[in-house]
Amino acid sequence: MARMIPDSSKPDWRCTILDSVADGVFTVDGEGHITFFNRAAEQITGLRKADVIGKRCCDVLCASMCNSDCALCKTMENGRAIENRSGEITRKGGQRIPVNISTALLKDDEGAVIGAVEIIRDQSLVEELRKEISARYSFGDIISKNAHMQRMLNLLPRIAESGSTVLITGESGTGKELVARAIHSLSPRKKKPFVAVNCGALPDTLLESELFGHLAGAFTDAKHERRGYFATANGGTIFLDEIGDISAAMQVRLLRVLQERTYQPVGSSEPLKTDVRVICATNKDVEDLVKRREFRQDLYYRLNVMRLHIPPLRERKEDIPLLVEHFIGKLNRVRGRNVQGVSADATARLMAHDWPGNVRELENAIEHAFVLCDGQTLSAVHLPDHLRPSDAEAPAPGTSLEDIEARAIYDALKRNAWRKLATARELKINKTTLWRRVKALGIKLPPEAGTE
User: Does residue 391 sit within a domain?
Assistant: no
109 shares its domain with 160: no
| 200: exposed, middle or buried (Cβ count in 10 Å: 0-12, 13-18, 19+) | middle
CATH code: domain of residue 367: 1.10.8.60
Backbone angles phi, psi at 99, to 5 degrees: -140, 160
Please check whether residue 432 lies inside any domain of the structure: yes
293 in the same domain as 218: yes
Q: Does 2 reside within a domain?
A: no
Q: Does 286 reside within a domain?
A: yes
Are 322 and 296 part of one and the same domain?
no
- Would you write out the chain's pLDDT as a tens digit for each of its 452 residues? 334 555 555 556 667 777 777 888 898 888 888 988 888 888 888 888 888 898 888 777 765 556 566 788 888 888 888 877 777 787 777 788 888 788 888 888 778 888 888 888 887 766 665 565 555 555 667 888 888 998 998 899 999 999 999 999 999 999 999 999 999 999 999 999 999 999 988 887 788 888 888 776 555 565 566 888 999 999 999 999 999 999 998 999 999 999 999 988 887 778 889 999 999 999 999 999 999 999 999 999 999 999 999 999 999 998 998 899 889 988 988 888 888 888 877 888 899 899 999 999 999 999 999 999 988 889 888 999 888 765 433 333 334 667 777 878 887 888 788 888 888 888 888 888 888 888 888 888 877 676 66
- Give this prediction's pTM: 0.61
d(CA 99, CA 40): 13
CA 265/CA 268 separation, integer angstroms: 5
Do 413 and 376 contact (CB within 8 A), yes or no?
A: no
Q: Which residue in 84, 88, 85 sits closest to 97, CA to CA? A: 88
Task: Give yes or no for a contact between 257 and 274, defined as CB atoms under 8 angstroms apart.
Answer: yes
Based on the fold, state whether residues 163 and 266 are members of the same structural domain.
yes
In terms of domains, do 305 and 260 share one?
Answer: yes
In total, how many domains does the chain have?
4
Which residue type, as a one-letter code, is found at position 420? Answer: K
User: Which residue(s) pair with 82 in the sheet?
Assistant: 103
3-state SS class at 329: helix
Query: Which domain, by its residues, includes 337?
Result: 128-132+317-382
User: Same structural domain for residues 210 and 152?
Assistant: yes
For residue 202, the one-letter residue type is: L
Question: Which pLDDT belongs to residue 161?
Answer: 93
Last residue of a domain, one of 269, 294, 310: 310
The domain that contains 428 carries what CATH number? 1.10.10
In a domain, 306, yes or no: yes
Q: What is the pLDDT of residue 140?
A: 66
Helices (H), 163-228: 176-186, 204-212
* Calpha distance 13→294 (Å, rounded): 78
Residues 152 and 295 in one domain: yes
**Based on the domain organization, do 338 and 405 belong to the same domain?**
no
Does residue 396 lie in a domain region? no
Whether residue 259 sits in one domain with residue 152? yes
- CATH value at residue 29: 3.30.450.20
Last residue of a domain, one of 382, 417, 433: 382
Q: Return the closest-CA partner of residue 92 out of 37, 58, 43, 46.
A: 46
Q: Does residue 388 lie in a domain region?
A: no
Residue 170 and residue 234 share a domain: yes
Residue ending a domain, choose from 310, 336, 370:
310
Asked whether residue 52 is domain-assigned, the answer is yes
DSSP letter at 268 equals -
Q: What is the CA radius of gyration of the chain?
A: 31
Domain identity same for 80 and 184: no
**What is the distance, to the nearest Å, from the Cα of residue 424 to the centroid of all Cα atoms in its chain?**
41
279: nearest Cα among 162, 372, 406: 162
372 and 422 housed in the same domain: no
